[in-house]
Structure 1
Amino acid sequence: MTTTQPTDLAVLIGRFQPFHHGHAALLAKALQSAPKVVVILGSAFHARNPKNPFNWQERAAMIANTLSEADRQRVSYIPLRDYYDDKRWASAVLKEVGKQVPAAARIALVGHFKDASSHYLRHFPQWELIEIGSQGDIDATNIRQVLFEAEDMAISLDVVAAAIPLAVRHYLKAWSLLPCYRELVREYAMLKEHKASWSGTPYPPIFSTVDAVVKTAGHVLLIKRKNHPGLGLWALPGGFVEPRERLLQAAIRELEEETTLGVLSNTLPDALVGVEVFDHPDRSLRGRTITHAHFFDLKHEQLPEVEAGDDAASASWVPVHELAGMEELFFDDHFHILNHFLHLTKD
């Protein structure tokens, strides 16, 4: 439904990776429609990767730089994590927006139905929808491709100049000087090569993996990744299932290979508390990857010895109470897997 009635608050939702002219048109419509605008910055608290290269603070600054001083005062920003669960995500949006206005306030959602990824606009029937049409062939994915593939950032910015506001262009030029940019370029190249290796298959493959959540004495066993993707990020011990393995067997094998956990492997099945499937289509940039996460509670009073092996840079016991503050340091959705089993966040 499209509204022409005055509203108290306009909401704009997106990842804005990066902010481009299509986004700017939506924001301009939001500012025209209400005295206050809330911008929901999706995929917040996520580790940097080629799909989400900018943290939420950088995106907020990027957007603010395109606005007049008067309009900056009218716009506020709400970072929102990925939940990989539509109901939880929509509930979190409603909760955060509800903090901005009285209960009886009239709220409008400004958006554009670009493709299947725009289905989130249907999650808020209690808000009035202000829909605007296409602003041309502008796609953030293509912009990121140019930024990560060209060898000269100045040339890259010239190529995408027609798609992004001038203030964002200046911002990206400065941002590209940060050390994280070169790491993202390397990771992008690795992921591109990986996808090219199976591009000739009749159908895109679906990868089957396992992960191990091992808890004891108030700690969880984690590794730091030694290679791209996710170089240097915290992760759960895990990996791909081999052709002749059962899932539990694969989880125990990966756990032993990556951490050399000082526990007899034949005792681990008795420590298994539960298994959950994590299958969101966007949980991994390597392709469609479905993992079975195995939760082991050793119930030891002392921490067993661990040592990094295989493709892990390190293996460590991390206190559970520290995990909530480490969200932006985790690979893929591994923080969310931990949150599922250990209830780390308030929501």
Structure 2
Amino acid sequence: MHDTALLIGRFEPVHSGHLALLQEALRQAPQVIVVVGSAWQARSPKNPFTWQEREAMLKGALPEADRARVQVLPVRDYYNEAVWVQAVRLGVAEHTAPGARIALVGHFKDATSSYLRAFPAWTLIDLPRQGSMDATTIRDAYFGATPATVGTALAPLAGEIPASTLAMLEQFAQTPHYPALQQEWRMLRGYREAWAAAPYPPVFVTVDAVLRCQDQVLLIRRAHAPGKGQLAVPGGFIEQRETVWQSCLRELVEETHCNLPEATLRAALQSVAVFDHPDRSQRGRTITHAHYFDLGDAPFPAVKADDDAALVQWTRIDQLAGLEEQFFEDHFHMLDHFFAITGLRTQA
């Protein structure tokens, strides 16, 4: 018998396979901690629900007695396994007694499940696949429907979806988030279909400009899907005859009209970090080169939104933590790398 059993997942949304693992965790220990990943991410077709909404789906699928034994631990995506493992361990330690016997319940679905081996101090209970359902199938059926036809679209899958999840999906379809996410879902499907016939999956190269001035950083609001309306640092795709440096300067000018001389930016360049986590972008495998500039106490350069930016703004670095849920893809964690916002050391 263990003191605490852990279950780790994104639960986007909760389905019968998740519940089978959760029920095994409840059999293994009197206390269960469910680590809900991708917490504080901006809504997207892959991560449409807040961690609180996923907690409600999980607990709503349990009898009241079991519900009282389950605690949800939200953990953000750090796009760095070592830092993420550190965050999970610290979170679990806060909710367990020293020396507690801990079991980690899971299933090796594919390469994305390798994190299960990252906790050697905990007993790993590796279960076979629980049912045939996966969350991607549910999301595709869901976003391919309309608010009026959600029930019909999900009917063939309803046997694998808890009632609490079905109710949540029906309610969510009546919110403004649903059509916005549908638009992104359709855009991303079209984007991936455009290169589906390539002999090999492509790897995209992008650049980003992290421009600091007077302890503020230059941000944009994205004008188009994916991430329409979300915060990001200026950036974009490299062009065929450019270096990453040239692309960075071009994107900075195109999106913000920040026309600082190249020599000024050369002098202000502090570092270049590569962000290459396989899951950092839903558009496909995308590797970015983030250039960090610090203008010190110089006057703010004049800026104006253009191209892919609907809005451009200077934002105090000490306000970034409160804006985490508004950031596109991994841009919050890009800023975390340079500014140490979360307190855990991140490495690109």
Q: Where does 1:180-195 land on structure 2 (aligned, <5 Å)? A: 180-195=177-192
Partner of 1:3: none
The alpha-carbon deviation at position 142 of structure 1 amounts to 0.9
Partner of 1:68: 63
Residue 160 of structure 1 aligns to a residue whose secondary structure is helix
| CA shift digits 1:311-331 (9 cap, x unpaired) | 110111011110011111000
Q: Where does 1:229-268 land on structure 2 (aligned, <5 Å)? A: 229-268=226-265
TM-score normalized by the length of structure 1: 0.96
Partner of 1:113: 108
Q: Of the candidates 168, 171, 184, which is equivalent to residue 171 of structure 1? A: 168
Residue 54 of structure 1 aligns to a residue whose secondary structure is coil
Bigger mean CA offset, 129-138 vs 31-40: 129-138
Distance in 2 between residues matched to 1:301 and 1:206, nearest whole Å: 38
Q: Of the candidates 223, 232, 238, which is equivalent to residue 220 of structure 2? A: 223
Q: Of the candidates 336, 341, 348, which is equivalent to residue 339 of structure 1? A: 336
Partner of 2:276: 279
> How many pairs does the alignment contain?
342
| CA shift digits 1:116-137 (9 cap, x unpaired) | 1111110111111122222221
Q: Of the candidates 301, 306, 310, which is equivalent to residue 307 of structure 2? A: 310
Q: Where does 1:1-347 land on structure 2 (aligned, <5 Å)? A: 6-151=1-146, 152-347=149-344
The alpha-carbon deviation at position 93 of structure 1 amounts to 0.7
Task: Say if 2:138 and 2:154, in contact at 8 Å, map to a contact too.
Answer: no
| CA shift digits 1:165-218 (9 cap, x unpaired) | 122111211121111011000100001111111111111111110000000111
Letter in 2 for 1:332: E
Bigger mean CA offset, 322-331 vs 160-169: 160-169
Distance in 2 between residues matched to 1:131 and 1:205, nearest whole Å: 33
Residue 309 of structure 1 aligns to a residue whose secondary structure is coil
Distance in 1 between residues matched to 2:174 and 2:157, nearest whole Å: 18
The alpha-carbon deviation at position 262 of structure 1 amounts to 4.7
Task: Say if 2:207 and 2:238, in contact at 8 Å, map to a contact too.
Answer: yes
| CA shift digits 1:126-165 (9 cap, x unpaired) | 1111222222211111111111112321212212202211
Residue 136 of structure 1 aligns to a residue whose secondary structure is coil
The alpha-carbon deviation at position 69 of structure 1 amounts to 1.3
Residue 201 of structure 1 aligns to a residue whose secondary structure is coil
Distance in 2 between residues matched to 1:73 and 1:181, nearest whole Å: 31
Instruction: Specify every segment of 5 or more residues in structure 2 that has no aligned partner in the other structure, as ranges.
Output: none
Distance in 2 between residues matched to 1:113 and 1:16, nearest whole Å: 15
| CA shift digits 1:4-59 (9 cap, x unpaired) | xx010000000000000000001101111111100000010100100001110000
Distance in 2 between residues matched to 1:162 and 1:116, nearest whole Å: 27
Bigger mean CA offset, 28-37 vs 260-269: 260-269
Residue 329 of structure 2 aligns to a residue whose secondary structure is coil
Residue 210 of structure 1 aligns to a residue whose secondary structure is strand
Letter in 2 for 1:145: D
Residue 78 of structure 1 aligns to a residue whose secondary structure is strand
Percent identity over paired residues: 51
Letter in 2 for 1:137: S
The alpha-carbon deviation at position 271 of structure 1 amounts to 1.1
State the 4+ residue runs in structure 1 displaced beyond 2 angstroms.
262-266
Distance in 2 between residues matched to 1:171 and 1:53, nearest whole Å: 12
Residue 275 of structure 1 aligns to a residue whose secondary structure is strand
Distance in 1 between residues matched to 2:160 and 2:263, nearest whole Å: 58
Distance in 2 between residues matched to 1:207 and 1:230, nearest whole Å: 17
| CA shift digits 1:64-97 (9 cap, x unpaired) | 1111111111111110001111111111111110
Letter in 1 for 2:224: N
Bigger mean CA offset, 41-50 vs 264-273: 264-273
